[in-house]
Chains A and B, each alone.
Chain A
């Protein structure tokens, strides 16, 4: 414990150790005496011509009459603010992505997309036997290839599943 107090006063403890040893200091009057003695030694070494008596006891005595101070917890407020900022940023990003996608598709692409969707349903419903071979052979000419990559794969998987039925 004493060695850790020595390292603590030099700012040489790891962050996760500091809280633990500050708790120990709070609970242990003997440890606080060591803290005071080690600081006195440092002060004597640096300024031997100006060492005055210990004021801790007097200050402590006067603090008995002082109401305990409490400050608003800034960490909690900070965390709330951070969570709000993150969720706001995520929402904005999502809106941005949707807006970008709709711009990419464009108004002229809308009828084409509607056609694709209409075309997909009957094709999916009637894929059987020879039709599958036909579709595979002509896949590159399919309107589905104009769509983004994921739609292409969704359609392919569906075909395989129907084949095994």
Chain B
């Protein structure tokens, strides 16, 4: 079952009244959506509020979601509309220097235009998380690191990674899991102790 099909299963669970399923979608897409919204709303605190608002709007609109597009494409449209409405309500215009086509939502990966106005506290926390992840990655055995990078950066399927690394699919699955778990193990103390458990 593909990633999009798993999303669809989660959506159907939310449509049957399962709020935990929506939690899983928030955990998965919050940073992508936040990144998108911060193209319109430059202030980080405002962008955070707008992102939350977009998720709530998505939750309310979910009964009408028919699965004709991928869930995240639909979610991103809601995100863009919420951001634009936010700017309109504050009598500001969406930045013209970052023209955005809704169809780009699926491939949006450009962070070069981002100019987030972060608080020092947020910046520090972000930096710590990034440092821990990168340091943990460096400590991993080469085969685990490669498997994780091929999955997360290149977006390859397990079968494709198995072909690249010349090993069985089951080994790929195990390597990716072990890599994630090793990094998460180092990350957990930080996530648990962060102020207000905000990670």
B109, B114, B173: the one within 8 Å of A7 (CB): B173
Q: Are A70 and B20 in contact (CB under 8 A)?
A: no
Give the residues in chain A near B87, CB-CB below 8 Å: none
Interface residues in B50-107 by Cβ distance below 8 A to A read 51-52, 55-56, 59-60, 62-66
Task: List residues of chain B with CB within 8 A of the CB of A43.
Answer: 31-32
Best-surrounded residue of B22, B62, B116, B149 (most CB of chain A within 10 A): B22
B146 to nearest A CB, angstroms?
13
B133 within 8 A of A: yes
A39-83 CB contacts (< 8 Å) to partner B: 39-60, 62-63, 66, 68-74
Interface size class of A (residues with CB under 8 A): 35 or more
Q: Is B63 a contact of A70 with CB atoms below 8 Å?
A: yes
A10 within 8 A of B: yes
Find out whether the CB atom of A37 lies under 8 angstroms from the CB atom of B177.
no
**Contact in complex: A14, B1 (CB < 8 Å):** yes
A-B interface contact total, Cβ < 8 Å:
192
Q: Which residue of A lies closest to B47 (CB)?
A: A52
Flag if B52 contacts A11 (CB, 8 Å).
Answer: no
Cα(A154)–Cα(B129), bound, Å: 84
Q: Is residue B193 contacting chain A, with contact meaning CB distance below 8 A?
A: no
Task: Chain B residues near A73: list those with CB within 8 A.
Answer: 16
Inter-chain contact A46/B153, CB cutoff 8 Å? yes
- Minimum distance in angstroms from B138 CB to a CB of chain A: 12
Whether A40 contacts B111 by the Cβ 8 Å rule is no
A70 contact from B15, B59, B109, Cβ within 8 A: B15
> With A3-B174, A12-B157 given, is the CB distance from A44 to B133 under 8 Å?
yes
B30 at the interface (CB under 8 A from A): yes
Q: Given the complex of chains A and B, what is the CA–CA distance between A2 and B32 in angstroms?
A: 23
Report if A41-B17 is in contact (Cβ < 8 Å); known contacts: A11-B6, A12-B158, A55-B55: no
Neighbouring B residues of A44 by C-beta, 8 Å: 129-130, 133-134
Q: Sort chain B's interface into a size bin.
A: 35 or more
Q: Contacting B111 at CB < 8 Å: which of A2, A47, A52?
A: A47
CA distance A56 to B34 in the complex (A): 12
Stretch from A15-23, A102-110, A140-148 at the B interface:
A15-23
B188 and chain A: residue at smallest CB distance: A37
A28-36, A88-96, A127-135 - the one binding chain B? A28-36
B187 at the interface (CB under 8 A from A): yes
A59–B26 touching, CB < 8 Å: yes
CA distance A8 to B196 in the complex (A): 28
Interface contact A13-B1, CB-CB below 8 Å: yes
A159 adjacent to chain B (CB < 8 Å): no
Residues of B close to A60: CB separation below 8 A: 19, 23, 26
Q: What residues of chain A have their CB less than 8 Å away from a CB belonging to chain B? A: 2-3, 6-15, 18-19, 22, 25-26, 32-60, 62-63, 66, 68-74
**Can you list 22 contacts pairing A with B, beta carbon distance less than 8 Å?**
A3-B173, A7-B158, A10-B151, A11-B2, A11-B4, A13-B1, A26-B21, A35-B27, A41-B187, A50-B34, A50-B38, A50-B116, A52-B48, A54-B30, A55-B51, A57-B196, A58-B52, A59-B56, A60-B19, A60-B23, A66-B56, A70-B17
Instruction: State the 8 A-B residue pairs at the shortest beta-carbon distance, nearest first.
Output: A11-B3, A71-B15, A71-B63, A6-B177, A36-B27, A53-B198, A3-B177, A44-B133
